[in-house]
Chains A and B, each alone.
Chain A
Amino acid sequence: MSGVLHLLRLSGAASIQDGGRPGFLRDGLSASGPMDRLAHAAANVLVGNPPDAAAIELGLAGATLRAEGGPVRLALAGACGPLRLDGEPLADHRSFLLAEGAELTLGRPRAGVFATLAVAGGFGLHPVLGSVALHRRAALGGLDGRPLREGDRLPLAGSAPAGAADLCLDPVPLESDRPIRVVLGPQDDCFASDGLATFLEQEFTVSGQADRMGYQLDGPAIAHGEGGFNIVSDATVMGSVQVPGTGRPIVLMADRQTTGGYPKIATVVSADLRRIAQRRPGEAVRFEAVDLATARKLAQGRAAARDALQENLRPVVGAAERLMAANVAGAAVDAFRDD
């Protein structure tokens, strides 16, 4: 029989996400999907799943899980905290077997926000509009249309493949040290020149209002132009930086509202969506404008990094690999850099 993954303890946010649910923006439904697509893909590839398979996304969360009804093969990638398997320390960005009855403890991440816990074979959940990704506001997807909570028993789609080797990957870097790249527009002409200068030259910090819908930033107010701060609603995209009347920007994310009546000064380039997603409340954000050709090159680089995950898999060989921590993988981190 197929087993379940029993969520014994949870502190922080957790939901089921897969590649998301594109195609319904014209119906007012944002696509959801992983906040960090590279981390999501890495965790899935480590357990032999397609990169967009359903997995557990943890947001600044700690958790304890137990395999019930059979063993399960797991991997954690992204913003990881200390991992323990029945009390024994274990490295992240590697796959491992959680035996029936064994307990896995995930500590809160040391840095960054979102981690993905992937399960070989994925979950036995019913897709809604082609996806099991949770869209919380729409109460759609996930487990019964809601975030995960303590006590949940997640049905597994298959059993752990027998004899599969433990694999590892270089940790996906969080790249929190550099500016977030944006393309100006669609409504940069709604801002005074000093408003644009504030946006591009000053430092902002992620506020406590940061979730899968959007990241509100604290910092200097961005001045609108003479036209004010109301526009007739138009469409948003993931990464839209909208500036309401307060002048405090909000970066719209995976579960955002699909339209809005505030001008959008800029759009985070698709390659940097995961980088802003991984900034936690209190951390600094600076923006840097790039042109569309550069943004497209960055997207190509990001796609190449994702495609390379599969070929970069290598077997876990010894104690050194087992305990390899994110902060010692300097050379590997550089390989992910896209400029």
Chain B
Amino acid sequence: MTHDAPRLLACGDTAFTIEFGDRIDPALSARVLALDAALRAEPPPGLCETVPTYRSLTVHLDPLVADPERFGRAVLALAAEPLPPPATARLWRIPVVYGGEFGIDLDAVAAHHGIAPEAVIERHAAPEYRVAMIGFLPGYAYLEGLDPGLALSRHPHPRPVTPAGTISIGGAQALVASIAAPSGWHLLGRTPFRNFVPARDPVFLLRPGDRVRFMPTPAERWDALAAAAEAGQTVAEPSAA
């Protein structure tokens, strides 16, 4: 279902969600990020924080300052207006070692689609992705732009632990995982890049709207890159558009 107009959804007295649609779609994400940028440029009284996702923007507010109902309707009206796209996003080139112990599901994904593992790597590394949202756990970057030919529903039984830096796909989504966590997604590779490092300034690097490219990297380079990352280097320097 596509919503012609955004919808206002209640999330209790301290938040509401502006829903632009119920699917993963670059056009929806662009509207989410445009509304996010507009609110952050001129925060209305009572605004606490905003959370962009693939298809919606959740707005947190202080109910002692702002009336959640009126605030929600005002933001809904803003969401229905044509808004300027956010400022040009940064591009991150993220090194990925694919397959083997780094991406234990690569061969199975290839077999499922009836193509060679090298073709999966090629198709996963070809697009320029956009960070649609950071969520679930600190620094988990959910991307849009996955080749539809790679889409694959999640494992029915999630693995209890997948390593930090896991590069995976699930459904039509692509993910850069920051910390170790359970996952039902398909693990294609791993990156030494860390989006979330509490002791680093800045703690988080990727932002919603940023662009991402995956750079296939030989396994022999892992140790050097991992050591550089350990020493505090980002190993995926951003560049302006």
> Which residues of A approach B to under 8 Å, CB–CB?
22-29, 128-129, 135, 137-140, 145, 182-187, 231-235, 237, 239-240, 257-260, 264, 267-270, 292-293, 295-296, 298-300, 303
Contacts and interface: CB of A to CB of B under 8 A. Distances in A.
Interface in B13-32: 13-17, 19, 22-24
10 contacts: A27-B134, A27-B138, A128-B198, A129-B203, A186-B11, A234-B58, A237-B11, A259-B133, A292-B68, A292-B69
A28 B58 contact: no
B64 to A, nearest CB: 6
Interface residues of B, number: 47
Given A28-B178, A296-B13, 16 more contacts: A22-B48, A26-B51, A27-B196, A27-B204, A29-B196, A129-B203, A137-B181, A183-B10, A186-B11, A186-B17, A232-B23, A233-B54, A235-B15, A267-B10, A267-B12, A270-B63
Question: Dominant SS at the A interface?
Answer: mixed
Interface of B: 9-17, 19, 22-24, 48-56, 58, 60, 63-64, 67-69, 133-140, 142, 178-179, 181, 196, 198, 203-204, 207-208
Contact of B135 (A182, A185, A233, A296): A233
A66 B196 CA distance: 37
Given A129-B203, A138-B179, A270-B63, A258 B136 contact: yes
A269 B58 contact: no
A237 B60 contact: yes
Contacts of B50: 26
A235 B56 contact: yes
Nearest to B12: A267
Given A138-B137, A257-B135, A296-B67, A234 B13 contact: no
Given A232-B22, A237-B60, A28 B137 contact: yes
Contact of A28 (B9, B15, B69, B139): B139
Most buried by A among B15, B49, B55, B64: B15
A99 B135 CA distance: 46
B51 A25 contact: yes
B132 to A, nearest CB: 10
Contact of A184 (B10, B60, B64, B198): B10
Nearest to A298: B13
A131 to B, nearest CB: 12
The 9 A-B pairs with the shortest beta carbon distances in the complex, nearest first, are: A259-B135, A267-B12, A186-B9, A235-B58, A295-B13, A185-B10, A235-B51, A29-B138, A27-B204
B55 A26 contact: no
A259 B142 CA distance: 11
A303 B49 CA distance: 20
A296 B9 contact: no
A28 B12 contact: no
Nearest to B133: A259
A240 B198 CA distance: 27
B55 A270 contact: no
A237 B12 contact: yes
B55 A232 contact: yes
Nearest to A303: B64
A295 B15 CA distance: 12
B49 A25 contact: yes
A184 B69 CA distance: 14
A235 B55 CA distance: 10
Given A138-B179, A186-B9, A232-B23, A237 B53 contact: no
Contact of B11 (A129, A240, A303): A240
B136 A28 contact: yes
Contacts of B67: 296
